[in-house]
Structure 1
Amino acid sequence: MRVFSDVSSLQQSILQLKDNQKKIAFVPTMGALHKGHLSLIKTAKLHADTVIVSIFVNNTQFAPHEDFNSYPRNLDSDLQACKDAEVDLVFTPESSTIYPQLDDYTHIIPTRLAHSFCGKSRPQFFGGILSVLVRLFNIVTPDIAVFGEKDYQQFRVITQCCKDLFIPTTIIMSPLIREQNGLAMSSRNQYLTSEQRETASSIFKALQQAQLAFRQGEHLSSTLLALIRTHIDPSITHDYLHIVHSQTLKDVQHCDENSRILFAGFLDKVRLIDTMSLFSS
Structure 2
Amino acid sequence: MAGKAQRNKPQRAPKVHRAVVTRTVDDFEAAFWPDERPVDNAVVMTMGALHEGHAALIRAARKQVGQEGRVAVTVFVNPLQFGPAEDLERYPRSLDEDVKLAEENGADVVFAPSVDEVYPNGRPQVRLSAGPMGERFEGATRPGHFDGVLTVVAKLLHITDPDFAFFGEKDAQQLAIIQRMVADLDFDVEVVGVPTAREEDGLARSSRNRYLSADEREQALALSKALFAGRDAAAQGPKAVREAASAVLDAAEGINLDYLALVDPHDFSEAADDFQGAAVLAVAATVGSTRLIDNVHVICR
Q: For 1:228, which of 237, 241, 245 is the aligned residue?
A: 245
Measured in 1, the distance between the counterparts of 2:173 and 2:153 equals 15
Aligned residues: 276
Q: For 1:31, which of 31, 42, 48 is the aligned residue?
A: 48
Measured in 2, the distance between the counterparts of 1:38 and 1:177 equals 9
1:40 aligns with 2:63: no
Q: Percent same amino acid among aligned pairs?
A: 32
Measured in 1, the distance between the counterparts of 2:33 and 2:125 equals 27
Cα deviations by residue, 1:83-111 (Å, 9 ceiling, x for unpaired): 22231011000000011232443311113
Tell me which residue corresponds to 2:89: 69
Measured in 2, the distance between the counterparts of 1:16 and 1:165 equals 29
1:56 aligns with 2:79: no
Measured in 2, the distance between the counterparts of 1:123 and 1:189 equals 23
Asked which structure has the greater CA Rg, the reply is 2
Tell me which residue corresponds to 2:280: 260
- Kindly report the root-mean-square deviation, in angstroms, between the aligned alpha carbons of the 2 structures: 1.6
1:116 aligns with 2:116: no
SS in structure 2 at match of 1:258:
strand
* 4+ aligned runs moved over 4 Å, structure 1: none
Point out where structure 1 has 5 or more consecutive residues left out of the alignment.
Answer: none
Return the letter of the residue paired with 2:267. T
SS in structure 1 at match of 2:262:
strand
Tell me which residue corresponds to 1:279: 299
Tell me which residue corresponds to 2:188: 168
Alignment of 1:1-281 (within 5 A): 1-16=19-34, 19-48=36-65, 49-215=69-235, 218-219=236-237, 221-232=238-249, 233-252=252-271, 253-279=273-299
Alpha-carbon shift at residue 41 of structure 1 (Å): 0.5
Q: Could you state the TM-score of these two structures normalised by the residue count of structure 1?
A: 0.94
Alpha-carbon shift at residue 255 of structure 1 (Å): 4.2
Query: Does structure 2 retain, via aligned residues, the 8 Å contact 1:111–1:157?
Result: no
Q: Could you state the TM-score of these two structures normalised by the residue count of structure 2?
A: 0.88
SS in structure 1 at match of 2:233:
helix
Point out where structure 2 has 5 or more consecutive residues left out of the alignment.
Answer: 1-18
Cα deviations by residue, 1:39-62 (Å, 9 ceiling, x for unpaired): 000111111121100001111100
Query: Does structure 1 retain, via aligned residues, the 8 Å contact 2:59–2:106?
Result: no
Return the letter of the residue paired with 2:245. I
Alpha-carbon shift at residue 81 of structure 1 (Å): 1.1
Alpha-carbon shift at residue 195 of structure 1 (Å): 2.1
Query: Does structure 2 retain, via aligned residues, the 8 Å contact 1:99–1:105?
Result: no
Query: Does structure 2 retain, via aligned residues, the 8 Å contact 1:181–1:198?
Result: no
